Each structure stands twice: as structure tokens, then as C-alpha cells.
């Protein structure tokens, strides 16, 4: 996650700047994804040499090649939020004035966690389609180049073909991996069978996952030996530029770029001017943007294996076999702000990342389910199934998604569940590897208690204490509470007592995440947000349509800071 390299400190030639009669200095700091940084740096250097200035004030441009995940962590740190799976940014990773990430999905993820993050411009500078990279001999065995494959075909290969070894870059840290994950999820469709298919595909991808792109590429065959090819990586979602760059090194086994159908949104390299920068820097950023429209910049992109924003290519582009020309749809998208996130929203990203996190990130969660009488209410959008039944379905799907590295416990709550206690432990937090069957059986006990009320405050406090008392390092320790109502327990503690106790329990060395999922429109959003705001991490997620509780559950798993939605 460290800074890769400083490409250019274009503080070049102040004696030249004086020849152009500009005075003073505006220092513009630009962080760019590693593959596009050389082209941006060259354009900036030419501009400086030609006397870059804004209203007579000289402009110096410093372009750094930085991993998008590193910049995202730095932005998150500035806004006091976190993104799932990303470690803290290095101390020397500062937020730039302009950020050119490889995908606008980074911006969408940050906006969902930090509403105050409002960068401007956002129009794409370049484009690279998402493909599936595959060693040429392997591609030939599945009919390349004559046979056209779809993401559903790849989904089948992932789950049935034992000869195909698949991998991906971590979707939490890499936009290419995220695009592939979204495409596979869309191909799987909806329903129980689709969910099982998706889980199988994600587990197959996770076995060959890498945090960084260079590590993933090293898993492809390093010799033409048939045994090496058979035991190396067979397929992975990549960008077209990744394939071009890989093949430019003349490897013993070149990669083929499979252009899958339907085509997922490409990497789009949005030009994001950071919020709250000085107005002089904002003007300099706008002036630099105009320098990145020339034919020489387009040719520099081609050298890096990148297309222009409209999908066309400059001189020297090494087009892979079967590569399409720019499509009208892509060209239209290039004129909008953030084409890689076009048609996506934060919840879609969160659901995909939540699925991945459940499979790959170790965690401990105490799942606490409301069984008050109102959970017997039917849900029209779920065929009349009760709220409890819908919750059972979401819990079953979630449990199937969690990897054996997780530890899970189950409580139920209403009123008078265990003597006068409003809660009852069904299964203590236990490793899924040994107690998955017990936890599956516990889900069937999410049955409404006739005339039961909602002992919310006492339950939250007891659950929080339980997770903190059993806290384990190296894992996300979470209370995940589902409720469809407000606190209704005259014999229990008051809200002020709960808030005071939660604040007293806060221990930075043993952080516990408190997440509350509200079911239906009878919950009190303010009440739930008041509770979670007393803890250092967590949030409130509302499934106004209880039929969508499964989607909300995945969002809750993905979002580390919490969301109010």
C-alpha cells in the first residue's frame, strides 16, 4: 500500500518560467494511478516548460504515481472514516490537490462513507476495458479466438472445471477485481440457487487472490512447460492495459484478453479535484486538465496500453487480438462524470464487497435477532412471509457466505426471554469450522414471541459487553443486531443509561463495532443512530422493505464506518 514511485517533481526550470513573465508560485500536487502517471507527468512537464501560469502566477506541478488504495486510505483518514479491508495510509501519504484514480468506483465508495467528500470535475481522462486474462494455450482449449464467452460461461468454469485455476486482485483494494466481482454477481442472478453459485465462484476466486496486481501476474505460467501451464493461474479479471503491459515484457506464455459479454464498465481514470483546496490551486487544476486533451497525451496513453476517454486509441497502441473498437455506449459514457460507476450506486458496491469480506476477512460477530410480537407481521413484497421468516432467510444466506475463519454467535431478544432478561443466548460466539450446524439450527428459532415487547436497550448493552469481554485481536469484533421496533421495556434501563454505559465501555485497544439493522418502517431511526453514535465504529442500516434485508445485511458487513441509509 506504499507509494510506488515519485515520477516527476515538475518544478522544472524557474528560469524558463521567468522568461514567460510569470511570478510567484502555485504548487499543484497530483496523485495518479501508476499506469497513467507517466502520461500525466509528461503533459505537466511540457506545460511547465511552456510557461505554465494562472493569471500571471507561475504553476509548478508535482505528479506522483500512487496506488489508488493508498490515496483512498489517506482521504478516508482525513475524513475520519475507514474503508473495509484497507489498512491505514502511511504517514507520508498526503491527500493531493488532484487525484486520478483508475476508477470512479473509488470515489463512490468514499462518498458513501464520508458525505463531506465532494470532489469536482470527475470526467474521465482515459479508459481500459475489463477483460479476463488467460494464458494463450489455456484460451485455445476453450475455443479462443473463435468462441465468444460470457460472464455466465466464466461462472460455470469457476464452479465446475477443475482444470481452470482462477484468481483475482482483492476487490477491496483493486478496482479491476471489484469490476470482475460485480460482473460475476450480475451473471449469477438472484435466488437461492444463484446465491449458492455465487458463493462457490467467490470461494474459487479467493483461493487465487492477491492484494497487489504484480503478485497476481506472477502467478501466470513463467515457462512454456505444459506442467507449469497446468499448475499456474489460468484466468483472472484484468484490465486491457494489464494484458498489453504484461505481453510487452515478452513473457514465455503471452496472455490473451477475453472480452466478455456483457461488457462491464471500464476503468475510467476520473480527474478528481479535491474539495476545499485553495481557489488558486483549483484554477491551476482546471488549466492542467486542459493540457490533457492533446493528441500527444493520447499517444502517451497508448504507450501505456490505455485508450483515450472516448475509447479510441493513439499511435503505438498494441491492440490485443479480438480487441473491439470504441463502442457508441462507451463513447457516450466517457462524456459523463465517472463512467466506471455509471449505473452503480453505493449499495451495489457495498453488497459485492460485503460478500467478499465475509469470505476472505476473518471476523467475530454476535448476531442478535428481535423476536418480539411484531416480527409476525407479514411482508407483502415477500409473498406474505413474516418478518421473522424473511430474517431467517437472510441469516441463512449470510451464514452460508461466512468462511470457516469466522466465529459467530446467536442471541434472541424480546422481553422476559431468560427470566426477567429480555435476551437469551442460543449459541455463544463459536468458530464456524466446528459449530456451523448448531448455528444453522439456531436460525430456525427466530420465531416471534406472542405479545413480546422489545427490550432493546438492555440487549444492546449486554451484547456489547459480551463481545468486548470475549474480544480477539486480528479480527473485526462486531455486534450485529436486527430489530423491527422501538425500545418497549418499562422494567429495563433508560436510553441515557445505555449511552453512558456504552461510552464508558469504549476501549480503543479492544474496539467493538455495533451495527443495527432496522427492519420495516416502524423503527425509530433517530433512536438507533443515537445508540450507535455512542460507540467508536458501526452504524444504522434500514431495510424499509423487509424483503431486502439480505441486501442490507451485505452492506452492513462491507461498511466499516457505518452508514445512515
Query: How much is the average pLDDT of 313-330?
Result: 75
Section 260-279 average pLDDT: 92
Give the model's confidence band at 104: pLDDT under 50 very low, under 70 low, under 90 confident, else very high.
Answer: very high
The three-state secondary structure class of 558 is helix
> What are the grid coordinates assigned to 283, written together?
484554477
CB 124 within 8 A of CB 334: yes
CA distance 551 to 564: 15
Please determine, for residue 270, whether its predicted confidence score (pLDDT) is greater than 50: yes
Cβ-proximal residues to 285 (8 Å cutoff; 6+ apart), any chain: 28, 97, 98, 121, 273, 277
Interval 460-493: pLDDT, tens: 999 999 999 999 988 889 999 999 989 999 999 9
3-state secondary structure of 127: strand
Angle of the 525-532 helix axis to the 495-505 helix axis, nearest 10: 30
The residue-averaged pLDDT of 148-176 equals 86
Work out the average pLDDT over 69-85. 89
Q: DSSP letter string over 55-92? A: TTEEEEEEEEE--HHHHHHHHHHHTT---TTPPPPPTT
- Highest mean pLDDT pick, 158-167, 197-206, 313-322, 330-339: 313-322
Q: What's the whole-number mean pLDDT along residues 403-424?
A: 94
* Confidence band, pLDDT 50/70/90 cuts, at residue 1: very low
Q: What pLDDT was estimated at residue 429?
A: 97
pLDDT, tens only, 21-31 = 788 899 999 99
- Tell me the longest C-alpha to C-alpha distance in the chain: 86
User: Which of the four pLDDT bands, split at 50, 70 and 90, describes residue 156?
Assistant: confident
DSSP three-state, residue 263: coil
Q: How far apart are CA 86 and CA 344, in angstroms?
A: 21
For 29, phi then psi, to 5°, come to -100, 125
DSSP string for 388-447: HHHHHHHHHHHHHHS-TT-EEEEEEEEEEEETTEEEEEEEEEEEHHHHHHHHHHHHTT--
Cell 486542459 maps to which residue? 290
Predicted local confidence at residue 475, as pLDDT: 85
Secondary structure (3-state) at 8: strand
- Who has greater pLDDT, 85 or 284? 284
* Band of pLDDT at residue 551, cut at 50, 70 and 90: confident
To the nearest whole number, what is the mean pLDDT of the chain?
Answer: 87
* Nearest CA among 206, 323, 198 for reference residue 266: 323
Domains of the chain: 5-127+268-341 (3.40.190.10), 130-258 (3.40.190.10), 362-558 (3.40.50.410)
What nine digits make up the cell of 268?
475510467
Grouping H, G, I as helix, E, B as strand and the rest as coil, residue 132 is strand
| Highest mean pLDDT (candidates 201-215, 303-317, 507-521) | 303-317
Residue 458 makes CB contacts below 8 A (sequence gap 6+) with 421, 422, 423, 489, 492, 493
Residue listed under C-alpha cell 500500500: 1
Angle between helices 346-360 and 175-188 (to 10 degrees): 100
Q: Using CA atoms, how far apart are residues 24 and 28, in angstroms rounded to an integer?
A: 13
336 pLDDT above the threshold of 50: no
Q: What angle do CA 220, 223, 228 make, to 5 degrees?
A: 70
Mean pLDDT, residues 315-339 taken together: 62
- Measured distance CA(264)–CA(240) in Å, rounded: 12
Q: Which helix (H) or strand (E) holds 257?
A: strand 255-258
Residue 556's pLDDT is 75
How would residue 331 be classed by pLDDT, with cut points 50, 70 and 90? very low
pLDDT(343) > 80: no
* Cα(307)–Cα(462) distance, integer angstroms: 56
> Rounded to an integer, what distance in angstroms lies between the CA atom of residue 267 and that of residue 239?
7
Q: How confident is the model at residue 20 (pLDDT cuts 50, 70, 90)?
A: low
Q: Where does 472-512 show beta strands of DSSP type E?
A: 476-483
SS3 of 241, please? helix
User: Which pLDDT does position 558 carry in this prediction?
Assistant: 62
Question: Burial level of 157, CB count in 10 A (0-12/13-18/19+)?
Answer: buried
Dihedral angle of Cα 14, 20, 26, 31, to the nearest 10 degrees: -80
Q: What is the pLDDT of residues 212-249, one digit of tens each?
A: 899 999 999 999 999 999 999 999 999 999 999 999 99
Q: Which residue has the cell 496513453?
A: 301
| Selected residue with higher pLDDT from 13 and 242 | 242
pLDDT of residue 106: 96
Contacts of 311 (CB under 8 A, 6+ apart): 127, 266, 325, 326, 327, 330, 331, 334
pLDDT higher than 70, residue 340: no
Residue 436: predicted pLDDT: 94
Amino acid at each position: 500500500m506504499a507509494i510506488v514511485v515519485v515520477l516527476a517533481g515538475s518544478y522544472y526550470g524557474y528560469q524558463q518560467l521567468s522568461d514567460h513573465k510569470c511570478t510567484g508560485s502555485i504548487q499543484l500536487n497530483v496523485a495518479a494511478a501508476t499506469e497513467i502517471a507517466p502520461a500525466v507527468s509528461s503533459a505537466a512537464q511540457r506545460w511547465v516548460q511552456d510557461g505554465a501560469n494562472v493569471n500571471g502566477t507561475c504553476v509548478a506541478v508535482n505528479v506522483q504515481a500512487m496506488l489508488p488504495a493508498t490515496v483512498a486510505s489517506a482521504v478516508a483518514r482525513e475524513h475520519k472514516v475507514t474503508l473495509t479491508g484497507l489498512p491505514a495510509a502511511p504517514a507520508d501519504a498526503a491527500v493531493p490537490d488532484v487525484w486520478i484514480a483508475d476508477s470512479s468506483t473509488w470515489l463512490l465508495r468514499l462518498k458513501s462513507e464520508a458525505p463531506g467528500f465532494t470532489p469536482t470535475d470527475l470526467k474521465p481522462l482515459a479508459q481500459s476495458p475489463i477483460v479476463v486474462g488467460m494464458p494463450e494455450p489455456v484460451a485455445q482449449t476453450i475455443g479462443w479466438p473463435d468462441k465468444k464467452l460470457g460472464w455466465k460461461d466464466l461462472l460455470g468454469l469457476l464452479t465446475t472445471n477443475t482444470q481452470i485455476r482462477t484468481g483475482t486482485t482483492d476487490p477491496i483494494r483493486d478496482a479491476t477485481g471489484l469490476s470482475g466481482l460485480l460482473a460475476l454477481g450480475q451473471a449469477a442472478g438472484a435466488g437461492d440457487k444463484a446465491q449458492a453459485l455465487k458463493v462457490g465462484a467467490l470461494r474459487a476466486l479467493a483461493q487465487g487472490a492477491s492484494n497487489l496486481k504484480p503478485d497476481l501476474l506472477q502467478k501466470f505460467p513463467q515457462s512454456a512447460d505444459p506442467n507449469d501451464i497446468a499448475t499456474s493461474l489460468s484466468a483472472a479479471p484484468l484490465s486491457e492495459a494489464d494484458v498489453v503491459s504484461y505481453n510487452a515484457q515478452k513473457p514465455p506464455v503471452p496472455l490473451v484478453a477475453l472480452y466478455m459479454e456483457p461488457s462491464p464498465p471500464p476503468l475510467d481514470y476520473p480527474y478528481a479535484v479535491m474539495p476545499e483546496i485553495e481557489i488558486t490551486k483549483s484554477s491551476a487544476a482546471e488549466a492542467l486538465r486542459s493540457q490533457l486533451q492533446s493528441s500527444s497525451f493520447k499517444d502517451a496513453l497508448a504507450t501505456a496500453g490505455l485508450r483515450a476517454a472516448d475509447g479510441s486509441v493513439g499511435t503505438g497502441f498494441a491492440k490485443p487480438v479480438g480487441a473491439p473498437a470504441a463502442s457508441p455506449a462507451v463513447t457516450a459514457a466517457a462524456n459523463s462524470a465517472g463512467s466506471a460507476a455509471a449505473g452503480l450506486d453505493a449499495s451495489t458496491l457495498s453488497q459485492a464487497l460485503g460478500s467478499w469480506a465475509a469470505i476472505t476477512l476473518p471476523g467475530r460477530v454476535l448476531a442478535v435477532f428481535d423476536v418480539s410480537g411484531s416480527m409476525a407481521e407479514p411482508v407483502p413484497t415477500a409473498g406474505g412471509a413474516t418478518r421473522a421468516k424473511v430474517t431467517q432467510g437472510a441469516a441463512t444466506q449470510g451464514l452460508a457466505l461466512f468462511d470457516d475463519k469466522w466465529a459467530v454467535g446467536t442471541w434472541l431478544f424480546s422481553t422476559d426471554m431468560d427470566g426477567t432478561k429480555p435476551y437469551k443466548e442460543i449459541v455463544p460466539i463459536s468458530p464456524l469450522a466446528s459449530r456451523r450446524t448448531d448455528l444453522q439450527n439456531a436460525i430456525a428459532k427466530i420465531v416471534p414471541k406472542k405479545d413480546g415487547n422489545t427490550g432493546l436497550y438492555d440487549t444492546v448493552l449486554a451484547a456489547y459487553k459480551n463481545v468486548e469481554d470475549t474480544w480477539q485481536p486480528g479480527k473485526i469484533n462486531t455486534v450485529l443486531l436486527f430489530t423491527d421496533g422501538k425500545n418497549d421495556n418499562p422494567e429495563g434501563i433508560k436510553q441515557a443509561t445505555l449511552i453512558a454505559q456504552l461510552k464508558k465501555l469504549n476501549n480503543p485497544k479492544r474496539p467493538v463495532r455495533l451495527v443495527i439493522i432496522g427492519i420495516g418502517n416502524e423503527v425509530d431511526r433517530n433512536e438507533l443512530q443515537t445508540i450507535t453514535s455512542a460507540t467508536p465504529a458501526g452504524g444504522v442500516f434500514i431495510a424499509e422493505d423487509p424483503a431486502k434485508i439480505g441486501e442490507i445485511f451485505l452492506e452492513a458487513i462491507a461498511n466499516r464506518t457505518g452508514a445512515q441509509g
